[in-house]
Amino acid sequence: VKVSELGEFGLIERLRDELGAQEKATTILGPRSHLLIGIGDDAALWQSPGVAHLATTDTMVADVHFPSEGVGWSDLGWKALAANVSDIAAMGGSPEYALVTLALPDEFLVEDVVALYKGMAAAGREYGVVIAGGDLVRASQVIITVALTGRATESPRGEPLALRRDAAQAGDLVAVSGSLGNAAGGLRLLLESLPCTPEAADYLRRAQVRPRPHVDLGQGLLRMGIRCAIDISDGLAQDLRHVCRASKLGAVIRTAQLPVSEQLARTFPEDATAMAVGGGEDYELLFTGPANLVDRVRGRFTIPITVIGTMVDNEERSVRFLDEAGHEVTFAEAGWDHFRGETPR
Amino acid sequence: VKVSELGEFGLIERLRDELGAQEKATTILGPRSHLLIGIGDDAALWQSPGVAHLATTDTMVADVHFPSEGVGWSDLGWKALAANVSDIAAMGGSPEYALVTLALPDEFLVEDVVALYKGMAAAGREYGVVIAGGDLVRASQVIITVALTGRATESPRGEPLALRRDAAQAGDLVAVSGSLGNAAGGLRLLLESLPCTPEAADYLRRAQVRPRPHVDLGQGLLRMGIRCAIDISDGLAQDLRHVCRASKLGAVIRTAQLPVSEQLARTFPEDATAMAVGGGEDYELLFTGPANLVDRVRGRFTIPITVIGTMVDNEERSVRFLDEAGHEVTFAEAGWDHFRGETPR
């Protein structure tokens, strides 16, 4: 059935039924935060404790962020919500309520919209996000926009705390969670057929289609005293550059220390480092802090944390990459700029 | 300059400069609500009093909601924000922080984006909305998505209150603010050249391009005891149908009572009633309540309030229109359905 046959309001009803009470997500939100009015009124209304609030939005466009053919819509739904959850994680907050806007061509299939919502609801159950409303519009391209609110973490004295991009200090160590480049590896495997063990293929593809943002880690870092973090969505080089600009510093990264999974290293022995530097969509957290604090942080979380470099005073606010011998390594301009297009990764 | 020349991050810088501190909006928000982190981090962070929160989102697509040629981008920016403010008004809340997502083709001009933001910021100053973040993406069509948060009005005992679509009762009177069909008249004047006085043309065009949502009225209605309202964005017939469905009731409307401006009646003597019934984008408030309460409400606000009909028990949950003689009048299926397209108005 095409969305044009069901109509806007029929489709809203269908999706509302599909989402149901979202009880699992509500359980994670806790009894003090609850939805009073959800899908079907002029706005969503919820009660939430706490004095400070977070909101973020992230958009995925067909043929820009994902191919318009052969898409797993459920995976894409998961990813659209997860990308926003990751932004709340990178502030050290707790995600709460999402508004979902879908721009769809007339001939788009209702089954595919439902699959998209199922994937989104699955991510919602996992991360305690309730889908509370949204908008459906006709367009020539599929565009998925999620706006996500969250609750900020508070200090014991009730002051709002956040992980910021502009809070790095010269001399801070730069650390990242997990391993980098897996999602870029997964994308390559989805686009080309390459020699690869089934286990590695599964691991890398999963990193690409079902990314897992680190909400608990963000909150934990903030509580331990870390104040500067960003999530790696556009690639290490690009996202670290955002931290450098905001904090008015430079950074020096040791490429030999970059955490690269065995699966990525084996499948792409030549390119693994470049993928770790330039590949986006890993949704790992990058953070900075004084050496003694970063030392204390390491080992306190189940996810591995790796020190990859140092923040430095530097007029150009540049990110430099050094190899084991201390020689500078350059990578093809890596990262994502929407209006300039993507560079190979 | 094209957006592709400036690049995503250059454009973000430019827009951030353009928006500046948004001090006027901040003044309206009041000292208890303030932005802690705005554009340029992973999420926006703000402090806000109150226990209950609102969020809405509304999208405008080129060639669906507005023509892609000859657009006044500043007007469109105003309207994109105003449409969302109107949804918060229709819940009886106070708008607070907006996230703006722009999907733009590569060749879109930076000057036009800046004009769009200027219009949005002007609406923000007027209604106390701070633009706190957003997303910029490349797409084949211009699409403007605004997500807007708000603070819910509270009862004297601190409980959240809201104007809901599902709170109408059989026997309630149906009332609307202002006059209906002006925005539809303005649209016709923008598309065709018609005989019309300059004053009427200006009045109707302004209703179309610079709509003024009724935030104070929404809050006032809620405080006086009204519990059911919706804003008229898709047209009276369509929006009243939403109230009927949600409240499991029907409605009977007297077409002779529909408030129609002198300007609309003179310019479109034949079509004014049909425009008042089917024309969207007026952003007036429709509400229902018992006769004695609606009587008290009338005259308490500077904006005129007109009783246009009654909510009735009715299995089909239909909206019926009766003329002065009590005969049923039908209009061409009026209102807006995205995937079925627009009907003439």
> What digits encode the pLDDT tens for the residues B278-289?
999 999 999 999
Weakest mean pLDDT among A4-13, A110-119, A253-262, A333-342: A333-342
Residue B332 CB partners (closer than 8 Å, separation 6+): B274, B278, B343, B344
- Angle of the A3-19 helix axis to the A110-127 helix axis, nearest 10: 20
Chain A: nearest CA to B222, how far in angstroms?
15
Residue A340 pLDDT grade (very low, low, confident, very high; cuts 50, 70, 90): low
The Cα angle at residue A182 between residues A180 and A188, in degrees rounded to 5: 135
pLDDT at residue A21, as a whole number: 76
Q: Is A157 on the interface with B (CB under 8 A)?
A: no
Report residue A281: phi and psi, to 5°.
Answer: 70, 15
Q: What mean pLDDT do residues A128-139 have? A: 94
Name which of A42, A145, A164 is nearest B90 (Cβ-Cβ): A42
Q: What mean pLDDT do residues B66-95 have? A: 94
Name the one residue in this structure whose structure tokens are 């008249």.
B185
Name which of A45, A48, A162 is nearest B91 (Cβ-Cβ): A45
Please count the residue pairs, one from chain A and one from chain B, whose beta carbons lie less than 8 angstroms apart: 235
pLDDT at residue A341, as a whole number: 55
| Statement: residue B320 has pLDDT above 60 | yes
User: B53 vs A45: CB contact, 8 Å cut-off?
Assistant: yes
pLDDT at residue B215, as a whole number: 97
Q: Is A158 on the interface with B (CB under 8 A)?
A: no
Amino acid at A102: L
Name which of A88, A91, A339 is nearest B106 (Cβ-Cβ): A339
pLDDT at residue A345, as a whole number: 32
Q: What mean pLDDT do residues A230-250 have? A: 97
| Statement: residue B260 has pLDDT above 60 | yes
Express each pLDDT in A250-269 by its tens digit: 999 999 999 999 999 999 99
B-chain residues within 8 Å CB-CB of A48?
A: 51-53
pTM of the model: 0.93
Test mutation, A9, A42, A99, A215, chain B, max B CBs within 10 A: A42
DSSP 8-state assignment for residue B210: S
Residue B90 pLDDT grade (very low, low, confident, very high; cuts 50, 70, 90): very high
Query: Bigger pLDDT: A331 or B26?
Result: A331
User: B57 vs A134: CB contact, 8 Å cut-off?
Assistant: yes
Kindly state the percentage of chain A with pLDDT values over 90.
76
| Statement: residue B342 has pLDDT above 70 | no
Test mutation, B16, B42, B245, B338, chain A, max A CBs within 10 A: B42
Question: Chain A residue closest to B232 (CA)?
Answer: A42
Using DSSP's 3-state secondary structure scheme, residue B185 falls into helix
Residue B24 pLDDT grade (very low, low, confident, very high; cuts 50, 70, 90): confident
Residues 322-341 of A with CB under 8 A from B: 337-341
Query: Bigger pLDDT: A338 or A94?
Result: A94
Question: Does the predicted interface ipTM exceed a cut of 0.85?
Answer: yes
User: A55 vs B152: CB contact, 8 Å cut-off?
Assistant: no
Question: Chain B residue closest to A228 (CA)?
Answer: B41
Name which of A90, A147, A338 is nearest B99 (Cβ-Cβ): A147
pLDDT at residue B323, as a whole number: 95
pLDDT at residue A109, as a whole number: 94
User: B246 vs A40: CB contact, 8 Å cut-off?
Assistant: yes
Q: What mean pLDDT do residues A31-36 have? A: 82
Q: What mean pLDDT do residues B129-133 have? A: 94
A-chain residues within 8 Å CB-CB of B341?
A: 138
Report residue A241: phi and psi, to 5°.
Answer: -60, -35
Residue A71 pLDDT grade (very low, low, confident, very high; cuts 50, 70, 90): confident
Residues 10-29 of A with CB under 8 A from B: 11
Question: Chain B residue closest to A39 (CA)?
Answer: B56
Chain B: nearest CA to A254, how far in angstroms?
25
Kindly state the percentage of chain A with pLDDT values over 70.
96
User: A145 vs B53: CB contact, 8 Å cut-off?
Assistant: no
Kindly state the percentage of chain B with pLDDT values over 70.
96
Q: Is B264 on the interface with A (CB under 8 A)?
A: no
Residue A213 pLDDT grade (very low, low, confident, very high; cuts 50, 70, 90): very high
Question: Chain B residue closest to A98 (CA)?
Answer: B55
Express each pLDDT in B93-122 by its tens digit: 999 999 999 999 999 999 999 999 999 999
A-chain residues within 8 Å CB-CB of B155?
A: none
| Statement: residue B221 has pLDDT above 90 | yes
Residue A34 pLDDT grade (very low, low, confident, very high; cuts 50, 70, 90): confident
Chain A: nearest CA to B234, how far in angstroms?
12
Kindly state the percentage of chain B with pLDDT values over 90.
76
| Statement: residue A336 has pLDDT above 80 | no
pLDDT at residue B344, as a whole number: 34
CA–CA separation, B321 and B253 (whole Å): 5
User: A91 vs B42: CB contact, 8 Å cut-off?
Assistant: yes
Chain B: nearest CA to A19, how far in angstroms?
18
Q: What is the mean pLDDT of chain B?
A: 92
pLDDT at residue B343, as a whole number: 41
pLDDT at residue A55, as a whole number: 97
Question: Chain B residue closest to A162 (CA)?
Answer: B45
